[in-house]
Structure 1
Amino acid sequence: MTSYSLVADVGGTNTRVALAKGKDLLTDSIVKHRNTDYAGLPQLLSAYLKGQDNPDCKRAAVAIAGPVKDGAGRLTNLNWYIDKDTLASLSGAQRGAVMNDLQAQGHALGHIDEANLVTLKKGADENPNAAMLVIGVGTGFNCAPVFQTAKGRFVPPSEAGHLTFAARGADQWDLSRFLEAQLGHVGVEDILSGRGMERCYAWASDRAGVGKTATTSEVFTAADKGDPVAIRAIEAFVTALGNVTGDLALTLLPFGGIYLIGGMSRAVAPWFDRCGFDTAMTDKGRFGDFLNAFSVRLVEDDYAALSGCAHFLARADNQ
């Protein structure tokens, strides 16, 4: 009987589940589930396994959009909980693993087809054996450093989206004060996320004397038609992303490259040149030119987290 790995990428709205053989993700086994159709993750995974005729799973790993500690985690935007023992039990696997979704993306680096990578900034001093950095901008914000060690790849978790946003420049200061009046503490995720784009628009609209609101998709539609308020909102978002990316690069020194993932990363990437992402990223005083050492790439592979789970399990088997 063939032995498989069960892998899952659990987001706030949808969950992708698949089977893998060793490091190889079986793309024809990928199923996307709506989370609202299930009472919890165990029920969703059980339904998937039943639909696959209950395959023999030797290992199982899930990546969740939320903090993970000691093999257990809860989604940030959905009250779902999972731990490694429950995962192993429901899948019949000998071993289960629970990780943050950015950790899974980190384990996928180096295994993503070049066709699914878009170079946004070519680094002047790139070293493929050095540390890398994954930055996720979507429903929320987070990052994960990726380190190569003598014992293999190490991808520690973080909750970087809840760092205090460090405003830079007149517009960012004004945006930060605008949001502080509403939210109290302004975290990075309060600006760099889907909801964050809507907040950027509310700020730009208020400053234009219009006082309107818009959904994220409406902001991009209006900007494509030349609406100045929507364009200013995207400029604020892109500038903030460049600023935060530069701060994280200085903190972690990812000479192996910076990789942007998530729906919002993909949505704003076409605006980078127009809105000054590179200028904002390198606006670090005497260390500005130093930041030109780091490459920035956009990941367009929707299944990278699933692949990362598979590679994590395969490497763990060989240790």
Structure 2
Amino acid sequence: MKKRGVSGSILVGDIGGTRTRLSLYDGRGKRLLLEAVLPSREHATFEEIARSFLGSADHPPPKVAVLGVAGPIRNRAATVTNLPWKLDEVKLARSLSLGRVVLVNDLAVAARGCLHLPADVVVPLGEARPTSKGRSVAVIAAGTGLGEAHLVWDGSRHLVLPTEGGHVDFAARDALEVELFQFLSKRFPDHVSYERVLSGDGLGALYDFFVARGGRETKATERRLSEGDRNATIAELGLSGASRAAAKAVDLFASIYGAEAGNLALKQLALGGVFVVGNIARHIVLGRRKQFLDGFRKKGRFAALMAEIPIAVVTDPLVGVRGALAMAKDLIEAV
């Protein structure tokens, strides 16, 4: 029997602590009608962003919305980890006049999106790229926060499993990182997680750590850091070598990022590979791939196994939107 589908349009989104990406598709998810990237922190609520976006569209109102959210989903509701936003599926559907709203962890939609990527947005860090079937795959993304997800192969397809793995305890690997932990524990006495290191603010904390260890900066550098996006400036100064403290911060960031990606791969036994997504991956991981790979593979007795696991950087900023759209299509086909 032929499925009848859904009339109206489809709204998909990727809600992050820095940016919210929204896309509107036709009722079958085949044609893009409208898209926008909006600064999250300039809006008091998600509803404010969504109303503005939908109000600019001369198209049928969405009947289905799938939204990736940076935070855990519980009882069909979520609080965005790095924003004061609270989202509820039922309340959103009512206030925005949507037929159905589904909230999904943002790394879960990104993981699903990794299964639908064209080859030109996947940059392998070695000779192979992660597999699309047959083995489990891990997905990690450092950005405003640190997200992690699993793609578990069940024998016929990948099942997407969200996690809050970015909030596990940070584990020092050597004397320098013990010193770093002590530095961070003064800032975050309740808990030092990997997200406190592997995020935009984490890069800033690493820079502060190396400055505190004696990496004094010039007044010109201090002036640059006081203007605009401080963390982005640190990344730029570090990758270019214009600042010694920033360069050390970038190197250590890449090494710890690789180590935690390796931890994730080991815990899942992700022999199919690891996808590294997010804006930071496109810059720091590709710019410091040796440090990242060394951190990933340095696992003692399991170093040989780690060297066989393929890793790739995803350069597509719309990977979360791709995943949300795939999930929306699943809902429509199930009708």
- TM (norm. structure 1) is 0.90
Does the Cα contact within 8 Å between 2:12 and 2:324 map onto a contact in 1?
A: yes
Which stretch of structure 1 is more off in the superposition, 217-226 or 186-195?
217-226
Does the Cα contact within 8 Å between 1:103 and 1:144 map onto a contact in 2?
A: yes
* Residue 242 (structure 2) pairs with residue 236 (structure 1): no
Give the superposition deviation at 1:88: 2.7
Does the Cα contact within 8 Å between 2:180 and 2:209 map onto a contact in 1?
A: yes
What letter matches 1:242 in structure 2? G
Distance 1:113 1:314 in 2: 19
Pairing 1:145-224 to 2, within 5 Å after superposition: 145-149=150-154, 153-184=158-189, 185-208=191-214, 210=216, 214=225, 215-223=230-238, 224=240
Give the superposition deviation at 1:22: 6.2
Distance 2:41 2:187 in 1: 29
Pairing 1:1-319 to 2, within 5 Å after superposition: 3-21=8-26, 24=29, 26-27=31-32, 29-53=34-58, 55-123=60-128, 128-149=133-154, 153-184=158-189, 185-208=191-214, 210=216, 214=225, 215-223=230-238, 224-274=240-290, 276-319=291-334
Secondary structure of 1:17's partner? strand
Which stretch of structure 1 is more off in the superposition, 309-318 or 222-231?
222-231
Does the Cα contact within 8 Å between 1:143 and 1:159 map onto a contact in 2?
A: yes
Does the Cα contact within 8 Å between 1:23 and 1:311 map onto a contact in 2?
A: no
Provide closer, same or farther for how the CA distance between residues 13 and 63 of structure 1 changes in structure 2, counting only shifts above 3 A: same
Provide closer, same or farther for how the CA distance between residues 253 and 22 of structure 1 changes in structure 2, counting only shifts above 3 A: farther
Give the superposition deviation at 1:153: 4.2
Equivalenced residue count is 318
Provide closer, same or farther for how the CA distance between residues 229 and 39 of structure 1 changes in structure 2, counting only shifts above 3 A: closer
Q: Which runs of 4+ in 1 moved over 6 A?
A: none
What letter matches 1:254 in structure 2? A
What 5-or-longer segments of structure 1 have no aligned partner?
Answer: none
Does the Cα contact within 8 Å between 1:133 and 1:146 map onto a contact in 2?
A: yes
Secondary structure of 1:99's partner? strand
RMSD (CA atoms): 2.5
Distance 2:173 2:200 in 1: 21
What letter matches 1:162 in structure 2? H
What letter matches 1:171 in structure 2? L
Secondary structure of 1:216's partner? helix
Give the superposition deviation at 1:152: 5.4
What 5-or-longer segments of structure 2 have no aligned partner?
Answer: 1-5
- TM (norm. structure 2) is 0.86
What letter matches 1:246 in structure 2? G
Which stretch of structure 1 is more off in the superposition, 71-80 or 25-34?
25-34
Distance 1:221 1:123 in 2: 29
Query: What are the Cα deviations for residues 52-93 of structure 1, in whole angstroms up to 9, with x where unaligned?
Result: 135232211111112211221111111111122123334444
Give the superposition deviation at 1:150: 6.5
Give the superposition deviation at 1:111: 0.9
Distance 1:110 1:125 in 2: 10
Provide closer, same or farther for how the CA distance between residues 226 and 42 of structure 1 changes in structure 2, counting only shifts above 3 A: closer
Query: What are the Cα deviations for residues 150-194 of structure 1, in whole angstroms up to 9, with x where unaligned?
Result: 685432221112110111123222212221233222110111011
Query: What are the Cα deviations for residues 242-267 of structure 1, in whole angstroms up to 9, with x where unaligned?
Result: 11111111001222221111122222
Does the Cα contact within 8 Å between 2:130 and 2:137 map onto a contact in 1?
A: no
What letter matches 1:249 in structure 2? A
